Chains A and B, each alone.
Chain A
Amino acid sequence: MSQRRIAKRFAAAGESKLLIPYITAGDPDLETTLALMHTLVKAGADVIELGIPFSDPMADGPVIQAACERALKNKVSLVQVMETVKRFRETDNDTAVVLMGYMNPVERLGYAKFAELAAQAGVDGVLTVDMPPEEAAELVEELSSRELDCVFLLSPTTPDARMQQVFNMASGYIYYVSLKGVTGAANLDTDAVATKVEHIKSQTSIPVAVGFGIRDAASAAAISQAADGVVVGSVLVSIVGEHGQDKDTMHKTLFDMVNGMRLAMDDIQVTA
């Protein structure tokens, strides 16, 4: 088996940090999602987190809730999301794709079938928000046996004792949630994040990406000084939501935002 895509991206990054944009699949439809994925790559994405729409996104703020509602209007399913990844893979074999979502659609499909379809589609990793390591053994087993990475969250409230448990199960990268809150919250404290990420990195060799609260080039650049990767979600999803009717503007605005982050992150690397 060749090296996994996520690991490859981290290995190839050198001094640069990974840019990991999130969009909700099927918002407003899957054709648009596929096109947006390519735009994200052009703008400098290393990994794409593709949200699986869910009716009850408990850990998400209003922006991603609305995206889920838009996607579910067309009854976008988990299987269709994976088919979209398969189509993305027809022309892109380098950008890693991580599916991010909630447990119930996965439960409904069945762990083994989900893992099988994900692997066939060219998915690289899976992050289920409401599945802590304590409940995850079976799913991790199914995913790992197919060379899929299992991304887990750490948060400001995670005590050291539990961190070890997360390290034991996680692969690909650790997703450090930068703040106590749902996605789209605005109370980001860069210094506190840096301290915490350093603490995490002193205990594990798994790369650490930071997400929640990153909304512009400046915050992306600031976070990228401490972390191995920067996850950006709500600000991108709101661009998609805002320009739903006007695809050209949607792509251009999204490109500018993500590329602006890319440039700012890389600049900082150079001057630092």
Chain B
Amino acid sequence: MNTATKPADAPAIGSMSDNYPDKNGHFGIYGGSFIAETLMDPVSELQEAYEHYRKDPEFIAEFEWELKNFVGRPNPLYHARRWSDEGEGAQIWLKREDLNHTGAHKINNTVGQALLARRMGKKRIIAETGAGQHGVATATVCARWGMECIVYMGEEDIVRQAPNVFRMKLLGAEVVPVISGSKTLKDALNEAMRDWVGNVDDTFYIIGTAAGPHPYPTMVRDFNSVIGREIKMQSMEHMGKLPDMVVACVGGGSNAIGAFHPFLDDKDVRLVGVEAGGDGLETGRHAAPLSAGKPGVLHGNRTYLMEDDDGQIIETHSVSAGLDYPGVGPEHAWLKDIGRCEYVAATDTEALDATHKLCRIEGIIPALESAHALAYAAKIAPDMSPDINIVVNLSGRGDKDINTLADIAGITL
């Protein structure tokens, strides 16, 4: 791919390294479709539909139109000069996904999947959400196209992310509290799967991250790859070359894979995913399966998981609801094993420090999720030469987190 092409000329969906996954959705030993029999048929219907539409020029054109006119893309690649200068090291650039409509990268994927649902004639949309960003992005596209919208959300997350719950309701969605298990994102995913099994005929499940059974990890990656393509083009524009490093936070892995994927063949670009280190990897209280988990099977795919010795999924801990997930997209598992991407963790404290710093010296309130990527960049940049360029994917804005931040500061809003 010519890195200097305009986005309009670039293939919109499914750009590079298209040899992965294999036709059954395997990335090496990871991925696949580990689902109950009742879901096999709707999932293969989805596989066929996606395989068809990802190559359909009309579909691609409509997707691009929506990204431009509804989402507001391209968003800027912004040089965080004060932060860079203060560190006296590498240059830090922010890919401003926070400036998208609804305030995060999640909308890239929901627009894509909603367009697919429309073409497949499905009128009832379900989704799971953790931070509420994917729920809001799903409620938004459902309102945009007049589709019924049901969002499953862990009871604990409903409390942590109250503003987003209200936004979803304003947009006409029904928010269903999930009270099973740990009452967070993984349980919301279980509940959405259960809904889908019972309503396969008319329901489209918009999964919010690059996990789930094939084709979700691929499809969510493709819809988010616009992030990496824009980073490429904008880097050429601003730096005259590709960046040295792209850093993104990893929950289920959708913003990271979207930012990384167009760079996979550019071996000189380091790709670093930052997981939620919670109280610290050594405490066991975190949400960092790639850093400290083991391969297993959950939510339709084989990947790295946080589990105990009996193969039970264990509770995760992170200050950011959107990273509080015990699994990770299978493509990341594979990219870790083959050594193409690096995965590290940032603790709650490091992420909170980075949040406050970005607010104060750049005038941007980042999502707590994105702050994990920032924290890692902040840690390594000062030791690097000023002609090194690090792109941090600022996956979302932090307005949704003000209650959490206030709580931590002991302030009642």
Residue numbers of A with Cβ under 8 A of B are: 54-62, 65, 69, 72, 75, 77-79, 102-109, 129-132, 134-135, 152-159, 162, 177, 180-182, 185
Contact of A58 with B194 at beta-carbon distance under 8 Å, contacts A104-B305, A108-B309 already known: yes
21 A-B residue contacts at CB 8 Å? Answer: A55-B312, A56-B186, A75-B310, A77-B310, A104-B312, A104-B313, A105-B311, A107-B297, A107-B311, A108-B294, A108-B296, A130-B34, A130-B36, A131-B34, A156-B38, A157-B37, A157-B200, A158-B37, A158-B41, A162-B41, A180-B198
Bin the interface of chain B by size: 35 or more
For residue A11, give the distance in angstroms from its CB to the closest CB of chain B: 26
Contact of A130 with B300 at beta-carbon distance under 8 Å, contacts A59-B36, A104-B311, A153-B37 already known: yes
For residue B366, give the distance in angstroms from its CB to the closest CB of chain A: 31
B33 and A181 contact, CB distance less than 8 A: no
A contact residues around B24 at 8 Å (CB): 134
B239, CB-defined interface residue at 8 Å: no
Other than A158-B40, A180-B197, give 13 A-B pairs with Cβ distance below 8 A: A54-B312, A58-B36, A58-B190, A58-B194, A69-B180, A72-B312, A104-B305, A104-B307, A108-B309, A132-B35, A134-B33, A157-B39, A181-B197
B313 and A135 contact, CB distance less than 8 A: no
Report how far A177 CA is from B38 CA in the complex, Å: 8
For residue A62, give the distance in angstroms from its CB to the closest CB of chain B: 8
B197 and A103 contact, CB distance less than 8 A: no
A135 and B34 contact, CB distance less than 8 A: yes
B33 and A182 contact, CB distance less than 8 A: no
B299, CB-defined interface residue at 8 Å: yes
Residue numbers of B with Cβ under 8 A of A are: 24, 32-42, 180-181, 186-187, 190, 193-194, 197-201, 294-300, 302, 305, 307, 309-314
B38 and A155 contact, CB distance less than 8 A: yes
B307 and A177 contact, CB distance less than 8 A: no
B311 and A59 contact, CB distance less than 8 A: no
For residue B323, give the distance in angstroms from its CB to the closest CB of chain A: 18
Q: Which residue of B lies closest to A175 (CB)?
A: B37
A104 and B33 contact, CB distance less than 8 A: no
Main SS at interface, chain B: mixed
Considering residues B35, B197, B200, which has the most beta carbons from chain A within 10 angstroms of its beta carbon?
B197
Q: Which residue of B lies closest to A53 (CB)?
A: B312
Report how far A135 CA is from B200 CA in the complex, Å: 22
Considering residues B33, B194, B311, which has the most beta carbons from chain A within 10 angstroms of its beta carbon?
B311
A contact residues around B305 at 8 Å (CB): 104
A contact residues around B190 at 8 Å (CB): 56-58
A129 and B36 contact, CB distance less than 8 A: yes
Q: Which residue of A lies closest to B312 (CB)?
A: A55
Q: Which residue of A lies closest to B194 (CB)?
A: A182
B contact residues around A109 at 8 Å (CB): 311
A157 and B38 contact, CB distance less than 8 A: yes
Report how far A131 CA is from B35 CA in the complex, Å: 6
B298 and A182 contact, CB distance less than 8 A: no
Contact of A155 with B311 at beta-carbon distance under 8 Å, contacts A107-B296, A180-B198, A181-B198 already known: no
Q: Which residue of A lies closest to B187 (CB)?
A: A56
B contact residues around A102 at 8 Å (CB): 297
B33 and A58 contact, CB distance less than 8 A: no
Report how far A182 CA is from B199 CA in the complex, Å: 10
Report how far A182 CA is from B35 CA in the complex, Å: 12
Report how far A95 CA is from B190 CA in the complex, Å: 33
Report how far A218 CA is from B390 CA in the complex, Å: 68
10 smallest CB-CB distances across A and B, nearest first, come from A108-B311, A105-B311, A153-B37, A157-B41, A181-B198, A155-B38, A77-B310, A103-B297, A59-B36, A55-B312
Report how far A61 CA is from B309 CA in the complex, Å: 26
Contact of A56 with B194 at beta-carbon distance under 8 Å, contacts A75-B310, A132-B35 already known: no
